[in-house]
Amino acid sequence: MKGLEITDEELWVEEFKKQFDFSRENHKTFAEMIKPIIDSTNTVIFCAKTDLTPMTFSRFKCLVKPNSKSTYLPKLNTFVAFCIGYDIDLTNAISLRRAYGRAFNITDPVHYAYMYLISHYGGKSISQCNELLRKLGIADKYLLRENSK
């Protein structure tokens, strides 16, 4: 039945609404912005999506608690792994970085590669992202954090 088929346009509209709603949140702090994501997940899912450690999830979880005194701010490669794992688009990633006083440097090849990953590799595995970073000549110390490390 044609009426029940989901079109590419419908998927696009749904994705646009999801990303726009997230974008409207950019007037908040970093913790406030990521709270809906962190509150809707658990350690197993977080680690599977981001390939980050349970300790990193614990740090994110502590950060979003009401009246938290946590000063945790993820390193750039941890931040990018989070964005990739949760398929956060570049516009929203930039807003998140800005919310904790950081920015991407578009003249830095590592930052530019990270922005490319966020734009084109959202939802992919961290190992796929690291493979691309290696092919781009990015040094191992800048690879996205992997759970095994």
User: What secondary structure does DSSP assign to 22-69, as a single string?
Assistant: HHGGGGS-HHHHHHHHHHT--HHHHHHHH---HHHHHHHHHHTSTT--
Secondary structure (3-state) at 51: coil
**pLDDT surpasses 60 at 46:** yes
What is the pLDDT confidence band of residue 76, given thresholds at 50, 70 and 90?
A: very high
pLDDT one-digit tens code per residue, 86-137:
999 999 999 999 988 999 999 999 999 999 999 999 888 999 999 999 999 9
pLDDT one-digit tens code per residue, 7-34:
788 888 988 998 888 877 657 889 989 9
Q: Angle CA(117)–CA(119)–CA(120) in degrees, nearest 5?
A: 65
Mean pLDDT (the chain, rounded): 90
pLDDT value at residue 5: 66
Q: pTM to 2 decimals?
A: 0.80
How long a stretch of residues is the chain?
149
Distance CA 10, CA 100 (A): 34
